[in-house]
Amino acid sequence: MLNEHFINGVGWGKFPNSYMHYQEKYFESGKYTISELLLAGNIHYVYNDYYQVILELGIIGVAIVIGYGFLIYFTISNPGKNIGVSLYQVAIFNLIALSVAAIFTYVFEVLWFQLVLILSVVYIWQQKLSLKSGRVWLVAIFITGALMAHHYGKYILHYQAYQQTSEARLLFKQGFYDEAVKLCSENYTRLRHDEKFLSLYSEALLYNGNFERCERVLAELIAIRNNYIYQRWLGQCYIEQKRYNQAEVALIKAINMVPNRFSPRFDLFNLYIGQKQYNKAYSTGNAIMQLPVKVPSSITAFIKKQTAERMIYLKK
């Protein structure tokens, strides 16, 4: 991925979709180990903030990471005179701890870590330069407010819509699919760019039987965040609409994205049986029986049992 996008990057915030595309192509090639198969999942983060910035922004990302390194260096070096030891040391510790942790996880994606980082930097420089605290902390408060607005502003702006979405989610879990769809439909215009909302809406439409609408909502959802679950739902939509070739493509895409999952393989297995493509069904069923179990569950056991029984019929 980095080799192909080093100059411009894949785009800010577009790492998850790009990574799932590359992961799909990697497993489609068949050149992988069992360990890689078992570790595969729907990936949202690189688990290295600096590397993710470079992947998303390319050369600009490299400049940002280098600039951040210089900022950290000049921030923690050469403390000024008459610095209060205790709070200053705490701020230095916070800055170093978060900067090191960002090498191993997604620290800078979390609001509270962002706030701790910014407040620590502001306090350190205020002490180093012996600045008046009033104006400095006014800037810190402004930045804090901007971050809070970025993370929570949409929930405040569309408070009622999110409340109704929570109600729709509860109705869906209780099996009231028509009511859940109705509430989602009413709030679609306001929340159509929210992944969790679109996920709920598309799943409710799938269970409700409105497959054409579900397909359109899934297209918007996949454009925001693509993963094997949404591809599987899309495959199920196509099956219900008797668009079997497109269903096959979607289910194979879901399988290659995260090949250790049994459900999309079982869907494809049943699709082939239903279409009397017995050679493909046998091959898919055999893959299910040989697939190592990542986490034992009743669903996995059921799929293996059902597949084994149907494989007996296919052998005849």
Rounded distance, CA 198 to CA 218, Å?
Answer: 7
Residues of the chain with pLDDT under 50: none
Angle among Cα 222, 228, 233 to the nearest 5 degrees reads 70
Residue 87: the pLDDT is 81
pTM: 0.88
Among 206, 232, 229, 228, residue whose Cα is nearest residue 217: 206
pLDDT digits (tens, 9 = 90+) for 142-177: 888 998 998 899 999 999 999 999 999 999 999 999
Residue 139: the pLDDT is 83
Name the strand (E) or helix (H) holding 108. none
